Amino acid sequence: MTELPSISVITPCLNAAATIRETLESVRDQGYPRLEHIVVDGDSADGTPEIAAGFGARVMSEPDRGRPDAANKGIALATGDVVAFLNADDRYEPGALERIGRAFADHPDAQWVTGYCRIVDGDGREIRHGVTRYKQWLLRRWSYGLYLTQNFVSDPATFVRREALERVGGLDGRYSTSHDYDLWLRVGRLGPPVVVEAPIAAFRMQEGTLSMDGFEGQFREHEEIARHHGDGHRAAVMVNAVTSRLIVLIYRALRGVRTLRARRRRGVGAPPRTT
Using left for φ > 0, alpha for ψ between -120 and 50, and beta otherwise, residue 204 falls in beta
d(CA 86, CA 261): 34
Q: In sequence order, what are the beta bridge partners of 158? A: 114
d(CA 228, CA 170): 16
Which among 156, 153, 49, 149 is positioned nearest to 97, based on CA atoms? 156
pTM of the model: 0.90
For residue 81, the number of C-alpha atoms closer than 13 Å in the C-beta half-sphere is: 14
Tell me the domains of the chain and their CATH numbers.
7-264 (3.90.550.10)
pLDDT digit string (tens) for 88-146? Answer: 999 999 999 999 999 999 999 999 999 999 999 988 999 999 999 999 999 999 999 99
CA distances from 248 to 138, 194, 212, 262 (A): 20, 30, 11, 21
pLDDT digit string (tens) for 138-196? Answer: 999 999 999 999 999 999 999 999 999 999 999 999 998 999 999 999 999 999 999 99
Which among 19, 10, 18 is positioned nearest to 41, based on CA atoms? 10
Q: In sequence order, what are the beta bridge partners of 126? A: 120
